[in-house]
Amino acid sequence: MSEYRQNVVTHEWVVIAPERRGRPHEVSLTFTLPELKEYDPSCPFCPGGTSEREHTIYELREAGEWVLRVVPNKYAPCSGTGEPRRRINGNFVSISGYGIAEVVIESRKHNETLATYSLHEIENILTAYLVRYRELVKLHPKIDLVTIFRNYGPLAGTSLLHPHSQIIATPIVPAGLRNSFHEARRYCDAFGTCVVCDYIGRELELGTRIVLRNEHFVVLEPFAARVPFETWIVPLRHHAGFDLRDDELPALATAISTTFRKLHKLMHQPSYNLIIKTAPASQENVEHLHWYIEILVRTAGPAGFELGSGIYINPMPPEEAASLLRDINT
């Protein structure tokens, strides 16, 4: 029987409806992306491509050549020049399109994925994320939200197949995030604790939705998962803003590598969105927020009910998804 579930962190509702798996294409565990070569001469991100003529914001080099680059987003939705000026015309409110958009070119190779990277390569990517996050917060006081994300596959909105992530920094925090932050503050006011810390503690006690755990991170399928194989990677150390200590970097790289090896082995290169959910820059050190990584595997897009109600229908119970992932050997 189906069941409504509420996400204690975001307060969003979902419907867990396993009987819907009888519908055509509702959940497929097999995906096929085209086989890619290590180098594509037409790709702007490959060595010798047009991105090498762009300004380099950040770069990691090994053996005399770049292994990771951060460059401006050529198709940025915002501009780093000017000021975020608010304009009010009656009840119409707008702000000039101030913001910063960057692309993290994760590898020289055209055909790498998070499931095939070495741990060292994933550590390089996380280091780039952290350096750029800290610099954007430090050097741009008008910026309040830094969103780091990775789109992979046709169902996740990817536009280029070469492995890359994106960073977009904006002066505004949208209503959906503000509402979840407000609920976290209310929880902290009522109980004196962080809602994510309490939630993770409860999940660890139960164990049924835990995929893996190491000394610094836990990987789980959330109680109110919106889609099959929605996965969270949560730091055990409380911190509101995205932050990694030296000993946490390899632990997170290991958690990411193992998670994606399991997902790729089970589903063969599924489309997904990976997002680092972090506090606004103005709330980096508050006690009621807690950063984490969210992975949304894309088996289908939202339909009318999801768009109209905001309630996702998930045909796979997260307990089953966690069990399947735990059983995959990497």
Using the predicted structure, report yes or no on whether residue 22 has a pLDDT greater than 90.
Answer: no
Helix, strand, or coil (residue 5)? strand
Backbone angles phi and psi of 135, in degrees to 5: -70, -40
CATH fold label, 3-326? HIT family, subunit A (3.30.428)
Mean pLDDT for the stretch of residues 144-168: 93
**Nearest to 34, CA basis, from 302, 329, 268, 318:** 268
Residues in the chain: 330
Residue reference for tokens 């090994």: 62
Q: What sign does the CA torsion over 277, 278, 280, 283 have?
A: positive
Q: What pLDDT does residue 24 have?
A: 44
Q: What pLDDT does residue 20 have?
A: 76
Confidence of residue 149 (pLDDT cuts 50, 70, 90): very high
Residue reference for tokens 């995205």: 242
Mean pLDDT for the stretch of residues 103-125: 96
Using the predicted structure, report yes or no on whether residue 262 has a pLDDT greater than 50.
Answer: yes
- Name the more confident of 302 and 12: 12
Using the predicted structure, report yes or no on whether residue 33 has a pLDDT greater than 80.
Answer: no
Mean pLDDT for the stretch of residues 68-94: 90
Confidence of residue 257 (pLDDT cuts 50, 70, 90): very high
β-bridge mates for residue 92, sequence order:
89
Mean pLDDT for the stretch of residues 252-272: 94
Mean pLDDT for the stretch of residues 88-116: 94
Confidence of residue 11 (pLDDT cuts 50, 70, 90): very high
Q: How buried is 7 (Cβ within 10 angstroms: 0-12 exposed, 13-18 middle, 19+ buried)?
A: middle
Q: Distance of CA 134 to CAs 138, 265, 270, 286, Å?
A: 6, 34, 31, 17
Mean pLDDT for the stretch of residues 129-136: 97
The domain segmentation of the chain, as residue ranges, is: 3-326
Mean pLDDT for the stretch of residues 211-235: 97
Q: What pLDDT does residue 199 have?
A: 98
pLDDT in tens, 183-195: 999 999 999 999 9
Confidence of residue 107 (pLDDT cuts 50, 70, 90): very high
Give yes or no for a contact between 147 and 140, defined as CB atoms under 8 angstroms apart: no
Comparing 48-52, 174-178, 316-320, the range with the smallest average pLDDT is: 48-52
Which token pair is 90?
């009656």
Helix, strand, or coil (residue 39)? coil
Identity of residue 226: R
**Prediction pTM value:** 0.94
Using the predicted structure, report yes or no on whether residue 84 has a pLDDT greater than 90.
Answer: no
| DSSP string across 151-196 | EESGGGT-S--S-EEEEEEES---HHHHHHHHHHHHHHHHHSS-HH
| DSSP string across 244-280 | --TTHHHHHHHHHHHHHHHHHHHHSS-EEEEEEE---
Which token pair is 223?
């109680």
pLDDT in tens, 279-322: 999 999 999 999 999 999 998 888 899 999 999 999 999 999 99
Dist. CA 139–CA 106, nearest whole Å: 23
Dist. CA 20–CA 22, nearest whole Å: 5
Identity of residue 16: I
Q: What pLDDT does residue 226 have?
A: 96
Residue reference for tokens 């925090």: 173
Terminal alpha carbon distance of the chain: 33
Average pLDDT, the chain: 93
Contact residues for 65 (Cβ-Cβ < 8 A; gap 6+): 47, 108
Which token pair is 166?
């994106």
Using the predicted structure, report yes or no on whether residue 58 has a pLDDT greater than 80.
Answer: yes
